């Protein structure tokens, strides 16, 4: 089985090399890394060129935002399985893709996912938040449940059948896609109970208070779009994040007070 890893980036020179190396370190041999750059001007393109003999496909051109870039990558993908790794993110270890493929082979599922850790932007060994997921069952989205999207691997045929990301949404299109795939169209999935991806804090959905408010609004639109729930579901979704901050030492908790405060009001 071939795996396509798609990375969208815009001015990510500080982290893109770490991301690329994370893919190259994987022990599974049949991987294609696709990088869609939105026209970076900070040296990102030069870093990509440094690895272009190891990258299956890359392009640097203006796009209509993050999800438009990811959709470009999906359309260019040749793999049986598609995963998305943001330019700020990296795999937890070198056997992640090997484990993912093993799950697909042994369980004959349409998708799989695992846990995610948010780490300090400057110190990736410092865990800020631990998103421990759980096995999926019908109806969980209505209770505010959600998969950590960077850990979500899906067969390419699912995208071909049920569609790509809704690029009209600027922050919550990953939420909409997972809800559409799992809750509405009932694709099969499997939970891997371990950390698959580490994400540096500072993504679009938690970069400013305005974006936090916009994310909450878009989440609500997604719920109403699919008639899954409303304000109560949104409240549960945000409330469920609080426990992710408490798998820490006392010293580490002090570092998280501001982020936790925002979570209470929606919402990292």
Q: Which pTM was predicted? A: 0.84
Q: Looking at 33-37, 49-53, 210-214, which range is the least confident one?
A: 210-214
Q: Is the pLDDT of residue 207 over 80?
A: no
Position with higher pLDDT, 7 vs 122: 7
Position with higher pLDDT, 232 vs 92: 92
Q: Looking at 25-29, 114-118, 148-152, 206-210, which range is the least confident one?
A: 206-210
pLDDT at 226: 73
Secondary-structure percent of the chain, ordered helix, strand, coil, rounded to 5? 40, 20, 40
pLDDT at 247: 52
Q: Is the pLDDT of residue 215 over 50?
A: yes
pLDDT band of 143, cuts 50, 70, 90:
confident
pLDDT at 142: 81
Q: What is the three-state SS of 84-147?
A: ECCCCEEECCCCHHHHHHHHHHHHCCCEEEEEEEEECCCCCCCEEEEECCCCCCCCCHHHCCCC
pLDDT at 223: 75
pLDDT band of 213, cuts 50, 70, 90:
confident
Q: What is the set of domains in the chain, with CATH numbers?
A: 1-90 (3.90.550.10), 109-152+170-268 (no CATH)
Task: Give CA–CA dist 146/244, Å, rounded.
Answer: 13
Q: Is the pLDDT of residue 47 over 50?
A: yes
Handedness of CA 140, 144, 150, 156 (dihedral sign): positive
Q: Give tens-digit pLDDT for 160-186.
A: 999 999 999 888 899 999 999 999 999
């Amino acid at each position: 089985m071939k795996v396509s890893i798609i990375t969208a980036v815009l001015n990510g020179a500080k982290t893109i090399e770490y991301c690329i190396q994370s893919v190259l370190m994987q022990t599974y041999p049949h991987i294609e890394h696709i990088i869609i750059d939105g026209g970076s001007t900070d040296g990102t393109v030069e870093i990509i060129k440094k690895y272009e003999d190891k990258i299956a496909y890359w392009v640097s051109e203006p796009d209509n935002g993050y999800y438009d870039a990811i959709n470009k990558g999906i359309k260019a993908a040749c793999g049986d399985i598609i995963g998305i790794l943001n330019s700020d993110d990296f795999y937890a270890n070198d056997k992640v893709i090997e484990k993912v493929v093993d799950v697909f082979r042994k369980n004959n599922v349409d998708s799989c996912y695992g846990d995610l850790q948010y780490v300090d932007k400057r110190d990736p060994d410092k865990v800020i938040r631990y998103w421990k997921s759980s096995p999926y069952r019908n109806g969980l989205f209505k209770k505010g449940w959600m998969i950590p999207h960077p850990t979500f691997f899906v067969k390419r045929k699912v995208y071909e059948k049920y569609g790509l990301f809704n690029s009209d949404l600027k922050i919550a299109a990953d939420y909409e896609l997972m809800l559409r795939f799992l809750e509405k169209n009932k694709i099969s999935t499997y939970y891997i109970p371990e950390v698959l991806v580490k994400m540096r804090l500072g993504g679009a959905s938690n970069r400013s208070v305005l974006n936090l408010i916009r994310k909450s609004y878009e989440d609500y639109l997604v719920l109403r779009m699919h008639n899954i729930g409303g304000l109560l579901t949104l409240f549960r979704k945000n409330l469920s994040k609080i426990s992710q901050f408490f798998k820490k030492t006392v010293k580490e908790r002090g570092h998280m007070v501001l982020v936790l405060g925002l979570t209470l009001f929606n919402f990292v």
